[in-house]
Each structure stands twice: as C-alpha cells, then as structure tokens.
Copies of this chain bind each other. A is one copy, B any other.
C-alpha cells in the first residue's frame, strides 16, 4: 500500500505521541516533531507508511539513547495477555469451530498496537476479545485458510505486536506445529514482537522462531535479510498479521498469503474496502493488488 496524503498528519501526531511516551524532555519532543516534519516533507508517497514509522522510531531511539523504549510496555502486554490466555484457550477448545474462534482471538489481539494508539487499557483489550467472539468474519476466507493449513508444507506466521503474539499462539496451536515458523522483527520497533516476546508467549518450545532481519514495523522485503526472504519466497502459506504487514505486503507477489487484522485506521479501511473496526481475514489476490483504488476514489493517492 502506498502512503496516502491522509497518512501525513497522522505521522506527525504519532511522532509527537511517541516522543512524549518515551521521554519527559520537551526539547526531544520538539526536536523529533521538527525532524518528522522534514522527513514527511521529503517523503516518497510510493513507499508504504511503515517506512516513515521506521525512520521516526529510529530517530526516537537515537535521541533518547534508549535501544528499546517500548520494552516495558511490551513486557506488560505479554504478561496481561498471558493472564487472559487460559480462558481464551478454553473458549477456543469449546468452540464448535476452534480454528475460526482462534482466528477471532488472533484478530482481537491486534488491538495491542501502540503505533496506532500510544496508550491502551486492559479494558480495551478485554472489550476487543468480547467483540471478536461475535463480530462478522468472512466464512469463505476461514475455509480457504483451513484448506491451506492442511495442505501447506511450510507455514510462515508473520507476527505483529507483543501481547498480541500470546493470542496468536491460540491460532498457531491449531496448526501442525512442526510445519510452522513464527517470524518476529529483527530489532526493536515500537511494540512489535521480537524474539524475546515470542519466547515470553511460550512459542519457543512449540515452533521454530526466526527474525526477518529488519526493524521496519511491517515486512519491507527489501530491508529484510536474504535468509528471511528465501524463507518468505519458499513458504507455501504465509499468515501476515496486522496493519503494518498489510501495508507493506499488499502488493507483494506471494501466491498464498492471508492478511489477518483488525482495521484501526480509516485509510487502511478504505484501501481494504471495509469499515473501521472490521475484523479482516483475507486471502491476498496476487497481481490484482487487492487494495488498488478504483476510479471512484475520493481520496488522493
């Protein structure tokens, strides 16, 4: 997905919110804000939005001298999600369709995105879980995913955020574990899951964990390691979690990729032709750019 003009005011707000979240020093708030403005003024709108997020958060780490400013937030999110886990596991096991219920739980976990919203309460997470049990989801996409899981020899699960990755585990446990590899980010970026979070979620004893070699908040293939890109190309099924992975992979050429996300932004809603708040499980339609805007487009590109 390219960057829309409407993404820009949001980048600026996110830069300021993130700076305030990570330091109390007003001079750093102002400096990051000014630098984000300059970056945005010179941005290529052909790039997906997470490239801008990567630049802002790299600069924030430099300015604050903190290698991983969201580390505590990630630990808190994992711990909270692990508290929820036993009940949600029961919910999945007791469901008449455990795979579909696990997909719902994984989507609910996708609210734990501190890039979109710099603070999130436990009650918001609980509400997302409650909503996800009942919310609308495309039954055809669930069936397509079920078939792909059965037949794929090698499944890559591109994780999104800390905390969320605990709820992803519910879905991963519905798959043949020996064929699943969970992919985390190559370095700290916002609250995206790294290896530490996959381990905290209890995935290390269950499946292979690799990182993608990049600190972009998504999967920017050009920035990923050669070894990850080989795995990406070779995988028979890819499950790409969250908005960042949608934004960066919506025009990729993989032949069997499913996007799994909660829509938290009006621009992405429009790109996906759905509504804010929707739960999305969608098979990527290679080549057709499933998200391409039509001529009735009422946004600028």
A38 to B42, CA, bound (A): 9
Binds B, one of A9-17, A105-113, A152-160, A177-185: A9-17
Which residue of chain B has its CB nearest to the CB of A37? B41
Q: Which of A9, A26, A33 has the most CB of B within 10 A?
A: A9
A88 to B260, CA, bound (A): 55
Q: Find out whether the CB atom of A16 lies under 8 angstroms from the CB atom of B12.
A: no
Total contacting residues, chain A, CB less than 8 A: 23
Number of identical monomers bound together in the oligomeric complex: 2
Which residue of chain B has its CB nearest to the CB of A28? B300
Nearest chain B CB to A38's CB is how many angstroms away? 5
**A79 contacts partner chain B, Cβ-Cβ < 8 Å:** no
A30 to B301, CA, bound (A): 9
**A5 contacts partner chain B, Cβ-Cβ < 8 Å:** yes
A16 to B10, CA, bound (A): 12
Which residue of chain B has its CB nearest to the CB of A38? B41
A8: chain B residues within 8 A (beta carbon)? 12, 16, 33, 37
Q: Could you jot down 23 A-B contacts, CB within 8 Å?
A: A5-B26, A5-B30, A5-B33, A6-B16, A8-B12, A8-B16, A8-B33, A8-B37, A9-B9, A9-B12, A9-B16, A12-B12, A12-B37, A26-B300, A29-B300, A30-B45, A34-B41, A34-B42, A35-B41, A37-B38, A37-B41, A38-B38, A41-B41
Give 4 closest A-B pairs by Cβ, nearest first: A37-B41, A9-B13, A26-B300, A9-B12
